[in-house]
Structure 1
Amino acid sequence: MVKRRFPNPRELAPLMKFKTPELNGKKRRLDSALTIYDLKEIANRRTPKAAFDYTDGAAEFELSLSRARQAFEDIEFHPDILKPASAVNTSVEILGGNSSLPFGIAPTGFTRLMHTEGEIAGATAAASAGIPFTLSTLGTSSIEDVKKANPNGRNWFQLYVMKDREISYGLAKRAAEAGFDTMMFTVDTPVAGARLRDKRNGFSIPPQLSLSTVMNAIPRPWWWWDFLTTPPLEFASLSSTGGTVGELLDSAMDPTISYEDLNIIRSIWPGKLVVKGVQNVSDSKKLIDLGVDGIILSNHGGRQLDRAPIPFHLLPKVIKEVGKDATVMIDTGIMNGADIVASIALGAKFTLVGRAYLYGLMAGGEQGVSKMISILRSEIERTMKLLGVSSLEELEPRHVTQLERLIPRK
């Protein structure tokens, strides 16, 4: 029998402490986010459908994106036991400099449409975290303004080869003069992918109003207030706007891009040069043999060729061919710090996050980007401790098994 008694108020007091309410709405929202998917939900609530879908969507049936995310979920970790890792070192040397974490912010276009703070928020948060920030050719902040926001950190520049080559060459020279240390020469966008969400939403630059966009904006007045009361969008690489994103890309990009263009950019660019958008083993080997400083296995976040190879699945095959000392990086589908740990274990030297960054940006501007970085950092650290590794150098392929789901038919 349980003996009962009247509760003693002095004993109850320590058990009934009320949490101090958070009056700052943005901080309250961001504090509630425990994962990148939580930031995604907040972003969806706060951002008009057309802008959110531009970030969240991919090409055609969005199979490349869903498969990339599934590939990270279809892994099995193999931890070591009785191997203390109470403190972990997450820093890495990449492309001649240090990063406090094994990931950087990927290049994203039209970023101020997602949130008015745009690239400046991303560059500032990256500077505070000690990780690289990458500015896109189609960014909505200038090279010089990003440098001001991140004057002492790692600034990288992503370059598209435009039909008007002088535009691309001029951007490369400006980035070099501003002290950007790495260029991402992007090779997977000769034409725009079929991003069907954008077409269905009528997403254009500048935004075009319709009855549906107005109705969708009513519960999100803060986004429109920010958009209408801040400087208009400007694109360093586009001389005119007024169409869907796909139409703008097709008008600017050149499908005749070739190795000759890569050679010209190498002659112009004084810093590190990496090729972004590599999607097979033979191209990886050829580029490494040509002496580029690194390659990025990427299918452009699933936004170009749907059903393209899954970068995470391609990674072990490329490492086997080019050697573990080559600088091979990876993006597409990363939504958890464990995804990053698995990539490093299988041979990647570094990773890049795009959508995760934009979800954080839409959820809370610069503070939201910092929250995104914080979430991934804690997931990386916790995964490393549970695996029994104290540094990224200790991660090995034996720590990860890629479980098979999509198996080629023989």
Structure 2
Amino acid sequence: MSHETASAHGALPPSSSPAASARRARRLYHAYSIESLRDIAQRTLPRAVFDFYDGGAEDESTLKANRAAFARHAILPRFLVDVSRIDTTMNLLGKPVSMPLAVAPTGAIGYGWPFGDVAIARAAGAAGLPYALPTSSTSSIERVAREAPHTRLWFQSYMLRKRDFTMGLIQRARDADYEALIITIDMPTGGKRERDMRNDFGLPFRFSARNVLDFASRPGWVARLARSGMPVLENMLGFVPDTLHTSTIASSVGKNYDPAFNWDDLARIREVWPRRMLVKGVLHPDDAARVADLGCDGLVVSNHGGRQLDGAPAALDALPAIVQAVSGRLDILVDGGVRRGADIVKALALGAQAVMVGRPLLYGVSAGGEAGAARALFLLREELLRTMRLSGIASIGDIGPHVLAPFAAR
């Protein structure tokens, strides 16, 4: 079977009217923060789709903890420093990036914006940043490589029960010249995502009075879907027929993933993958040390955005012990709760080389396609520059533990 979908999905969808495009551009111009983009996305998307992007597991305590962890740290500024020129560049996995950030893999983007994977990949490339394409993308490995040729592409792989299919995806990423492979390890089963249950967003997908009315409440979104067709998980074609549509897989994350995947399996992938490799979902320092022992090039400190184990620690809180455990043997990224440029400074001060951001790009692309994704990255970069200038930090290399002071208890 072809790795592309039917001809209806063979190109990006037709553009909306000039008037609609102009209104969208004005909205984006007046979005002054990631939270503003989130507000636009919430007004634009049906509740079920927005909640799938925005929500977490069970009581969402870990989802909230990710943001709260950043609030517990203060930046202690120094003044009378020459900050007329700010350098945000650095090397990540051995290659230069425009700022210490990579775009995290986020699934089912096609429900937020048709072919949103391509839109985000293009925005990342234009900003000089890597983009990680997820297994559950709505644009294939090959499509993104073809339509975002100037972007540093990483491929994120889950470990599916059908191991041969998984290794086929990894081989396809190698053939398409993706520079890095990310193995996500924190999904032996799916988290209990109760927002999806409340929205009738389940497996198998059933149209109900609740979700039909929900979809109908967003006519602009319906029109985009009508122009582009139902989103399809292009990388999953040929895997399980009833998981082709994003509506089918949304609330059943984990059903097709392999709970038997272990350290020996990870070592075998490291042996056959010849390029850069990262492991995502690390929270325990002993696991981080084992990842380094396998010869991986990086790891991502992550609790899956609070979407898996509710009650797991905030990723930022887990970061310092992991930094100590790996002793500089590989690059460390952290994700979960990054919403401001100041958050990037705090993560680097605690020992990360870079952050990964997912939801900010989901909000941006849902608000305005590629331009919305670009707006999200612009906001983060502008805030990073401003934070560094206001803190007396002239370059990324100057960020260390000394820039932080603990907030008093609130």
Q: What TM-score does the superposition give when structure 2 sets the normalisation length?
A: 0.90
Distance of aligned partners of 1:403 and 1:189 in 2 relative to their CA distance in 1, 3 Å threshold: farther
Contact 2:157 2:184 in 1 (8 A): yes
- Residues 3-402 of structure 1 mapped to structure 2, 5 A cutoff: 24-204=22-202, 208-235=206-233, 236-237=235-236, 238-241=239-242, 245=249, 248-324=252-328, 326-402=330-406
1:400 aligned partner, one-letter code: L
| Cα separation, 2, equivalents of 1:44 and 1:366 | 17
Q: Secondary structure at the match of 1:93?
A: strand
Listed as ranges, the gaps of 5+ residues in structure 1 are 1-21
| Cα separation, 2, equivalents of 1:160 and 1:405 | 39
| Cα separation, 1, equivalents of 2:108 and 2:68 | 27
The residue that corresponds to 1:11 in the other structure is: none
Identity of aligned residues (%): 37
User: How far did 1:276 drift?
Assistant: 0.3
1:114 aligned partner, one-letter code: G
1:94 aligned partner, one-letter code: L
User: How far did 1:325 drift?
Assistant: 5.5
User: How far did 1:244 drift?
Assistant: 5.3
User: How far did 1:205 drift?
Assistant: 7.0
User: How far did 1:117 drift?
Assistant: 3.2
| Cα separation, 1, equivalents of 2:145 and 2:200 | 33
Q: Secondary structure at the match of 1:24?
A: helix
| Cα separation, 1, equivalents of 2:149 and 2:400 | 35
User: How far did 1:324 drift?
Assistant: 4.0
User: How far did 1:311 drift?
Assistant: 1.2
Distance of aligned partners of 1:173 and 1:23 in 2 relative to their CA distance in 1, 3 Å threshold: closer
Contact 2:197 2:251 in 1 (8 A): no
Contact 2:302 2:336 in 1 (8 A): yes
| Cα separation, 2, equivalents of 1:287 and 1:23 | 46
Distance of aligned partners of 1:86 and 1:325 in 2 relative to their CA distance in 1, 3 Å threshold: farther
User: How far did 1:114 drift?
Assistant: 1.6
Contact 1:194 1:246 in 2 (8 A): no
Contact 1:117 1:366 in 2 (8 A): no
Distance of aligned partners of 1:35 and 1:174 in 2 relative to their CA distance in 1, 3 Å threshold: same
- Cα RMSD (Å): 2.0
Distance of aligned partners of 1:402 and 1:295 in 2 relative to their CA distance in 1, 3 Å threshold: farther
Contact 2:120 2:370 in 1 (8 A): yes
Contact 2:158 2:257 in 1 (8 A): yes
The residue that corresponds to 1:4 in the other structure is: none
2:403 aligned partner, one-letter code: H
| Cα separation, 2, equivalents of 1:278 and 1:345 | 19
Contact 1:192 1:246 in 2 (8 A): no
User: How far did 1:27 drift?
Assistant: 1.0
State how many pairs are aligned.
Answer: 386
> Larger radius of gyration, structure 1 or 2?
1
User: How far did 1:233 drift?
Assistant: 2.6
Distance of aligned partners of 1:192 and 1:138 in 2 relative to their CA distance in 1, 3 Å threshold: same
Q: C-alpha deviations, 1:66-96, integer Å up to 9, x for none?
A: 0110111221111111112121111121112
User: How far did 1:159 drift?
Assistant: 0.6
| Cα separation, 1, equivalents of 2:389 and 2:339 | 19
Q: What TM-score does the superposition give when structure 1 sets the normalisation length?
A: 0.90
Distance of aligned partners of 1:404 and 1:246 in 2 relative to their CA distance in 1, 3 Å threshold: farther
2:94 aligned partner, one-letter code: G
User: How far did 1:402 drift?
Assistant: 4.5
User: How far did 1:239 drift?
Assistant: 2.0
Contact 1:199 1:244 in 2 (8 A): no
- Larger mean Cα displacement after TM superposition, 225-234 or 357-366: 225-234
| Cα separation, 1, equivalents of 2:316 and 2:76 | 18
- Larger mean Cα displacement after TM superposition, 29-38 or 284-293: 284-293
Contact 1:129 1:373 in 2 (8 A): yes
1:30 aligned partner, one-letter code: L
- Larger mean Cα displacement after TM superposition, 222-231 or 291-300: 222-231
Contact 1:108 1:354 in 2 (8 A): yes
Listed as ranges, the gaps of 5+ residues in structure 2 are 1-19
- Larger mean Cα displacement after TM superposition, 287-296 or 171-180: 287-296
Contact 1:198 1:244 in 2 (8 A): no
| Cα separation, 1, equivalents of 2:329 and 2:390 | 26
User: How far did 1:119 drift?
Assistant: 0.1
